[in-house]
Chain A
Amino acid sequence: MESVQNATEVFDQVYLDIRAGLLVLAASLDRVDRSEGAEVIGDDLRRERIQQGLEILSGPGLNRAEQIQVLFSDPYRSGWNTADANETSDSPGDDA
């Protein structure tokens, strides 16, 4: 079930949404930065992730949404449920 519209049709449809989305991002970041104590947010890991998310947006690719999802995901350790995994871990499947 691929897209039945061409890129121009799709872009015409989403252009204003993208523009509005960028404004929400810009205004939200401005609001953080003009608030008292804005400098501590620079050390907040969540702010760093948002910066990485913005880099994903400006990069190439057909799966930017998936990349953003992975960026905001807890790490997973494969084999967590096998006999050699640490069964006593408080957080099974953690990458730590």
Chain B
Amino acid sequence: MYFFDPHVHMISRVTDDYERMARMGCVGVSEPAFWAGFDRGSVDGFRDYFRQLTEFEPTRAGWSGVQHYAWLCINAKEAENVELSREVIAMIPEFLDKPGVLGIGEIGLNKNTPNECTIFREHVELAMRTNELILIHTPHLDDKYKGTRMIIDMLLEDDRVDPGRVLIDHVEEHTVGLAREEGFWCAMTLYPVTKCTPSRAADIIEMYGDERIMVNSAGDWGPSNPTAVPDFIMELRRRGHSESKIKKIVYDNPIEFFSGSERFEFTPPDVFRENAPTGVDAG
């Protein structure tokens, strides 16, 4: 089955991961900007990062026939540095006309602090001014419920925000209902430790339905599995769900949401295969 991984930090993964994902049916990935494992020292550090996300990663993904899209922001962890965050937010528009940039993300909260809230609101302001989609990171573990509610409160403060253009990520059993009640899109992250398992994600789908929801691996530089979406596909198959229902979650839904960005140009697999580029040596 063809699938999209709508949230995966491929910059942290090797080219073999693209290859393995492609062999399992991955035709597209979307990569939000995130924390590199250390706080970057200057706006130029982010400019280079955004160049990598919008220039080299699409090329590298293309070697395996995977279409690559990106989201830009300064993540919640580095948002504690308000001054730097404002410089990054002011620089983001340099990249908003690059092909494959889908919007602003992953913005959100990490420890639910006042500075994080300030920078979250300023990112939303940028997205509204430039008519961009928004991808939102919600905190993990004990902070998640409160952080998700605070994020939704802040989004509802601004009546320009259309919930149909916002994806709230990392939802779990206690937050999926909050996101959906207000009409937001949401995504579940399948992570080998501490987060949602394929089986719990399947349970959530059975309880909440398959509208405006998707699953991702959030593969990054930590313990994570970039082929987690196929694990989820297998779980739904084991439970007897139809191929068309599974496809809706792992393929149709991401495409429907991403289509809200005018820079989302996607070549469906059958056409895409014929024009697949050949590999290039990294040297």
The distance from the CB of A76 to the nearest CB of chain B, in whole angstroms, is 4
| Docked complex Cα distance between A92 and B115 (Å) | 10
Contact B174 A69 (CB under 8 A): yes
Interface pairs (13), CB distance under 8 Å: A1-B209, A2-B206, A13-B238, A65-B173, A66-B174, A70-B145, A73-B142, A73-B144, A76-B145, A78-B153, A81-B154, A81-B157, A92-B112
Is A58 among interface residues, defined by CB-CB distance under 8 A?
A: no
Choose one: A3, A69, A90; the contact of B206 (CB below 8 Å): A3
Nearest A residue to B121 via CB reads A81
| Docked complex Cα distance between A75 and B143 (Å) | 9
Chain B residues closer than 8 Å to A8, beta-carbon distance? none
Binds A, one of B23-31, B94-102, B239-247, B270-278: B239-247
B-to-A contact residues, CB < 8 Å: 112-114, 117, 141-146, 149-150, 153-154, 157, 172-175, 200, 203, 205-206, 209-210, 238-241, 245
Nearest A residue to B203 via CB reads A65
Chain B residues closer than 8 Å to A5, beta-carbon distance? 239-240
Chain A residues closer than 8 Å to B241, beta-carbon distance? 1, 4
The distance from the CB of A42 to the nearest CB of chain B, in whole angstroms, is 21
| Docked complex Cα distance between A84 and B15 (Å) | 52
The distance from the CB of A79 to the nearest CB of chain B, in whole angstroms, is 9
The distance from the CB of A69 to the nearest CB of chain B, in whole angstroms, is 4
Contact B150 A69 (CB under 8 A): no
Contact B210 A92 (CB under 8 A): no
Nearest B residue to A2 via CB reads B206
Is A63 among interface residues, defined by CB-CB distance under 8 A?
A: yes
Chain A residues closer than 8 Å to B209, beta-carbon distance? 1
For chain A, which range describes its interface: under 10, 10 to 19, 20 to 34, or 35 or more residues?
20 to 34
Choose one: B150, B154, B157; the contact of A76 (CB below 8 Å): B150
Contact A93 B203 (CB under 8 A): no
A-to-B contact residues, CB < 8 Å: 1-5, 13, 63, 65-66, 69-70, 72-76, 78, 80-81, 89-94
Chain B residues closer than 8 Å to A3, beta-carbon distance? 206, 239
| Docked complex Cα distance between A8 and B241 (Å) | 17
Contact B113 A91 (CB under 8 A): yes
Most chain B Cβ neighbours within 10 Å, of A63, A81, A93: A93
The distance from the CB of A27 to the nearest CB of chain B, in whole angstroms, is 19
With known contacts A66-B173, A90-B114, A80–B153 Cβ distance under 8 A = yes
The distance from the CB of A53 to the nearest CB of chain B, in whole angstroms, is 13
Contact A73 B206 (CB under 8 A): no
Contact B117 A72 (CB under 8 A): no
| Docked complex Cα distance between A66 and B171 (Å) | 12
The distance from the CB of B116 to the nearest CB of chain A, in whole angstroms, is 9
Chain A residues closer than 8 Å to B175, beta-carbon distance? 69
The distance from the CB of B186 to the nearest CB of chain A, in whole angstroms, is 15
Chain A residues closer than 8 Å to B210, beta-carbon distance? 1
The distance from the CB of A7 to the nearest CB of chain B, in whole angstroms, is 13
| Docked complex Cα distance between A72 and B146 (Å) | 11
The distance from the CB of A47 to the nearest CB of chain B, in whole angstroms, is 15
| Docked complex Cα distance between A69 and B113 (Å) | 21
Chain A residues closer than 8 Å to B157, beta-carbon distance? 81
